[in-house]
Amino acid sequence: MKATFKKYLLNFKNPSGTSRGILRTKETWFLLLEEEGNWGVGECGLFRGLSFDDVPEYEEKCSWVAKNIDLGKSELLKQLQNFPSIQFGVEQAFLSIRSQNPFHLFDSSFVNHQKPISINGLVWMGDKEFMHQQIEDKLNGGFSCIKMKIGAIDFDTEIELLTSIRKRYSKSDIELRVDANGAFSPNEALSKLERLSKLDLHSIEQPIKASQWDEMYRLCQNTPLPIALDEELIGIVDVTKKKEILLTIQPQYIILKPSLIGGVAGSKEWINVAEQNGIGWWITSALESNIGLNAIAQWTATLDNNMPQGLGTGSLFTNNIESPLEVAKGGLFYNKSKHWKNNLIKSLCI
């Protein structure tokens, strides 16, 4: 078996604001496998500044995987515990090369019968006019759940925006989620959550920065608004540690991003621990290209979780890989009338 890695830079259609700054490009890596005329592809969705494996030796580790691909998937995954995005890329690539169709990784009604996955519409941070326009676009696009990034502009302006949505659409009309990306300080977080809770929100992701377990526990115990852990899960690779953090913090939800937490195998461990402790969960992409998004979506479709998932990021880039993935009426579809650009994908790795 031959393995090849290639870096690829995704370009945002519009600069996208988060509490960490403005994103204009997103680096990712493709792993292409070839064996006896068959090929498979996986995406290692490194997220600079966020991924646990954003380390200087990342490219060196990719080269090591390529040289040692004959170790097989199981052994490679064991030796890649500190490189969750590469773990996920390896999982995808082996599923891909063993499938009759390199893009058909999991059997489900999503692929076989074009059944949509319900997703949230993502609204990025920006000035008031830009955010209002995004909200209108999502509502006109048939979304029943909107996720809004907060924490980068004035909090009063964000409250005003959310209030304007609620004046027009009730809780039964539209589900609102917010993601603070750790923007609140522990001292101010509870008072901000109290203000947000008056707007009938579904939940808030990561109100304070990760690794403040005691403060996050106190928030989860006293919050008037359900809290979902996101960045808090990054870098926790041992299942015993996963149990410890969820038992310590006791959140209402966890958000699973396979590229950041060890792919399917790592995500399954989190799901098992969460369900054993009555904690809800949903799946979110992490700005992968359509290669990684396809894998996440197909796996998500096998889990029978009816909550809106965070899988609507494929349309953010000008140079994404053309695919059958399509967002319509608040759902992600696998449109079989569209096709993957196979030659382009293979050419990226030559």
Gap between the Cα atoms of 226 and 252, Å rounded? 6
The packing angle between helices 84-97 and 290-300, to 10°, is 80
Which residues are known to be catalytic? 149, 257
- One-letter amino acid for residue 41 of the chain: V
pTM value > 0.85: yes
H-helix segments, 23-154:
58-67, 73-78, 84-97, 109-112, 128-140
Gap between the Cα atoms of 280 and 68, Å rounded? 38
Nearest to 108, CA basis, from 333, 345, 342? 333
H-helix segments, the chain:
58-67, 73-78, 84-97, 109-112, 128-140, 155-168, 186-197, 213-222, 239-249, 258-261, 263-276, 290-300, 342-348
User: pLDDT tens digits for 273-297?
Assistant: 999 999 999 999 999 999 999 999 9
Gap between the Cα atoms of 189 and 284, Å rounded? 24
pLDDT value for 101: 93
- Are 298 and 105 in contact by the 8 Å Cβ rule? The answer is yes
In angstroms, the Cα distances linking 169 to 43, 145, 155 are: 38, 11, 21
pLDDT value for 135: 82
The CATH T-level fold of domain 109-340 is: TIM Barrel (3.20.20)
Regions of the chain short of the pLDDT cut 50? none
Nearest to 148, CA basis, from 118, 178, 184? 178
Specify the residue for token string 């502009």. 153
H-helix segments, 127-262:
128-140, 155-168, 186-197, 213-222, 239-249, 258-261
Name the residue ranges covered by the structural domains of the chain.
2-102+343-348, 109-340
Q: Which CATH number fits domain 2-102+343-348: 3.40.50.620, 3.90.1150.10, 3.30.390.10, 1.10.540.10?
A: 3.30.390.10
User: pLDDT tens digits for 171-210?
Assistant: 888 899 999 989 999 999 999 999 999 999 999 999 999 9
| Residue 240 burial (10 A CB sphere; 0-12, 13-18, 19+) | exposed
Nearest to 254, CA basis, from 215, 222, 282? 282
The packing angle between helices 84-97 and 58-67, to 10°, is 30
pLDDT value for 139: 85
pLDDT value for 350: 52
Task: Please give the structure tokens belonging to residue 101.
Answer: 């169709």
pLDDT value for 280: 98
Gap between the Cα atoms of 33 and 97, Å rounded? 7
pLDDT value for 145: 94
Cα 293 off chain centre by: 9
Specify the residue for token string 């808030």. 204
pLDDT value for 18: 62
Q: How does strand 175-179 pair with strand 145-149?
A: parallel
